[in-house]
Structure 1
Amino acid sequence: MRRVGLIGTGVMGSVHAQAWAQRPGVLVAVYTPDERARAFAAQHGLHASPTVDGLLSEVDVVDLCTPTPTHVDYAVQAARAGRHVICEKPLARTLDDADRMIQACREGGVRLFVAHVLRFFPQYRAAWEQVQAGAIGSPRVLRLGRLSSPPPAGSWLLDEAQSGGVPLDLLIHDLDYARWIAGEVRSVCAVEARRGSRVTVHATLTHAGGAVTLVEGGWAAPPGVFRTHLDIAGTAGVIEWTSAAAPPLQAHGVAAPPPEQDGAALPDLGADDPYAAELWHAYDALESGTPFLIEPGDARASLAVALAVGRSIQTGQPVGVTP
């Protein structure tokens, strides 16, 4: 059994720790540079390792749930120590950093999995499977959307120099999904609207095969609201889904206040936790030597699209995407 060590104890670190707990004994240690991290270790019954080198000596796989700009240094250190790397999306803040991570893992003879969780949400995976089966012919127009409440005041996500803002933190889910469905993106054109801390982005992607994707979303919803939708029109049919659809059974009464938000908002995960699904997919692929559902080159390509969206917003011009 491969032992996993966690670096990062914020919102996503907690989500990953809960997912790893489905198989007791796999997640064994966490990097604990401060009191918050030490409390996290105690809460989850993990060995507290005060240094990264110490953590690496205890584990076979490192799971990175830290702010985006830190991914490169942790991943390179892990790869040089011969440890496989699981990394939260986006892969990195820049393409140069992404290339350093990929090269280090290749030279270290270890594998790199980037956690683009949308590929593991049941509705999105089912839609992809329908497209692969030819149910709607060739995809021609995709409409994808994602709207959440803004991160709380003081969150590192609001420092766009670190997080990349909405394109890299939020819309990259749909940008990656668009590539998965319709193939490589050749150009993007994007606009942005801001009002206080609320930000919305609209982007048009032109795919190499001729399909077009319209992506919209942002940090603009009220607290406790997270909505997504997909609409894939092909030459022989359409697939539609929205999280805003009414459930079969509804209860009415006094609404409970939304929980206090600590970091990025998360959608309702339902019974089939996609975060657990992606982590166990990566773990089992490491055990069996089988391919990942998303390889490092895919994550790099999706990062390139997200960065192009950012440049288009800044320049007000269409931006080409280099494979």
Structure 2
Amino acid sequence: MIRRCCRRISRSKKCCLRHYEWGDNYLGETWEDAGEQIDGTLLTDRREDWGENLPEEVVLLTCGIDVQDDRFEREFVGWGRDEGCWSLDYQVIYGDPSAPAIWNEREDCLKQTYAHPKGVDLPIRATSIDSGGHYTSAVYGFVKSREARRIFAIKGVGGEGRALVSRPAKNNVGKVRLFPVGVDTAKELLYGRLKIIDPGPGYCHFPEGRDDEYFRQLTGEKIVTKYSQGRARRAWVKTRARNEALDVRVYAIAAFTLLNLNINRVAQRFKNKQAVKPVEPIDEPIMRRPAPRKSSGGFVNSWRGY
């Protein structure tokens, strides 16, 4: 019987697919294809020098934070028309996430602003912090009093077809709004945009000086098709040990999604604003206050106002 199956496989035009089906149906094995992956070295050519200020196209900022056992990793991402995005800053901050001092540093970090060419300073509009690691309670404690500033706790949920961000739940020990994030959906969105080669809608920009390791981490997973029990499903698998840059970008995308706004309308309103011109000093003569008149007549006249 196995020989007959092998002959059928060899005659098939879709030999590879039939091989998966044969192994699945007759041997009970699970198979996966080679997968789709992006070459991170090709993204290094996108590095740009946009100076100290924000690129003029950026109108909104979000942040994604990943909490590891010995460090934080965070990225500030700028957004513009048609969801073009700019990686503004990526940092790895080492320290003990259980210590309050390092969370105070995160507080100061999230309060910083970026100077825009129009003469205004843009703040971080929304932040997503992953709560799925070993420091869930610390994350809950940090976001609880800061949700009004759009600093949210999130938890990644795998699987195809999930919403990028789902309705939050508060049935957790911190009683905070915990937003489930469809990480597979976000990664598929990101990888699709990383394949865009011409600046424009959805294009991803990166700054000059960003190291090569960042790009290796950003593309540190591939999507494969797995065959099990006669069914095919797509899944994301790691191609290297470190891929925090990918996770952090997913969290920044989730923060942008949580804002639930039309970025093109924001960009148009921003475009209509007049640039704020710096106030130049004006040389004016010094106005001297006249000397007070001396009163005469003693106490009575001074009381009368003379």
- Normalised by the length of structure 1, the TM-score is 0.28
Give 1 or 2: higher helix fraction.
1
Larger CA Rg, structure 1 vs 2: 2
